Structure 1
Amino acid sequence: MIRFILLLLVLGFAYYLVYRYRRLDAVKQKQLIKFLAIILISVLLAVLVLTGRLNWLIAAVGALLPLIPRAARFLMGVWPSVKPYFQRYQQNRKSSMHSRFIHLQIDMLSGELQGEVLEGGFAGQKLNALSLERLLLLLDELKPLDSESVSLLVAYLDRMHSGWAKDERGRYEQPASDSVMSERQARDILGVTETADKKEITKAHKRLMQKLHPDRGGSDYLAQQINKARDTLL
């Protein structure tokens, strides 16, 4: 009897939500859907915690993560109309900064930095494949050649090798660049497309600053470039 009453209450609540939903404008409909999704996820997590099944969910999600790229390719093959959404997501995951000698990539989800040497004695080598000793040798090589490359490499060391050379760091610090940033450079840094609107640009800027703010393991140079990219596009 109790289960029957609960079922009636759930059905009545669902009917009320549908009734309300149909009488809202498009903006409020989206807000209602987001609100209900948050409530549903919160209730589900609470039930999993109370029943001791949260670890099972975490393990299942971890096992499914490697399958996401394959699932995305399958969906793009079956429904070509979803392809732009996946491409947009992929483009918004990476931020790129270029100089004469260094190409630096930033994962916008994790804040992890990766890079490659473009010219010189270390040309073609990945930064994450170089030991700290060899990175410092590269830094010495670049210092008299290109200040922007030095700034990018110092930013990489600050992020990926915390405390790498506090006593010697001053030898490599460069003055802030006052060069004009092109729109293409700005879009590469923020990881947005040519059609990105103000909202997308602001969101990308905020996401990067949350990962690479100097107070969060980033650097003044990276923060300067991210701010400059936003100002260039807006």
Structure 2
Amino acid sequence: QIFLSNKYSIIKNKTSSYLIIQQLQSNFDFGFYSCNASNKLGKNSTLIQLRSKDVPETPTNVNTTSLTYSSISLKWQPGFDGGWPQSYWVSLDNSLSKETNQSHYTFTNLRHSHFYNITIRARNHLGQSHSTASINVRTENVPIKREDLPEIEYSTIDFTEKIIDYRLNNSSFNTLKVPLCLRIDIYNHSNLCERIVTSSGRIRLNEQYLLNIVNVSICLDQYEDYCGQTRSVEISKNLNYYFVLKQRKGVGKPYSSFHFLKD
């Protein structure tokens, strides 16, 4: 039982109470405290543990919440944070580690039909916890063979509209029930993979991308390394373009830029 003194004091308001302990002593004050409440309808109690600040506890109850051919989603139960804000490091095969402040995480762009070992550890200002026991998770099989992905019949660039047009083999597209994207390979830049839901369409792109498109291909959505045959992109035939070089002011200054203009 707590007796009010210079060491212990209690602050109360209508909805809560606070126990203030001065000059903490680890061998005397740390431990479990029972908080009891009662009224004319009944009573209740709860235990509260007071402990020193420390590294966080190891997370528990690690489970997968979703699996696809290219992603793994996880969740876990946080342990005591050690008295400091904590974050989590989620490791895939002891090589790829990602940090999150949430008690869940999703790995993407994984290999299909592949086993992965996953561990999690918590970290705060004072250090990190032990890693959880490794869980072994297998991604799903891909729902389609590469050779069965739709073929691109044509793909053209329209610089005036700043779009890329595409048309797929309609018969093969209509029989599929898997999400697809049009992968656009851009010179000296990471590729783009735009989700498509129809066998033909137009995708608007930044002009700097249009000028550097190398080729296109059809891939599984969210798995842009699993693709069909690539196809080069043509410039729209109803337009003619020529280069205009813009020169800096002053004699002998080098050319600074160029533009595509419609003829």
Into which bin does the TM-score normalised by the smaller protein fall? under 0.3
Structure with the bigger percentage of helix: 1
Instruction: Give TM-score, length-normalised by structure 1.
Output: 0.23
Which has the greater radius of gyration? Answer: 2
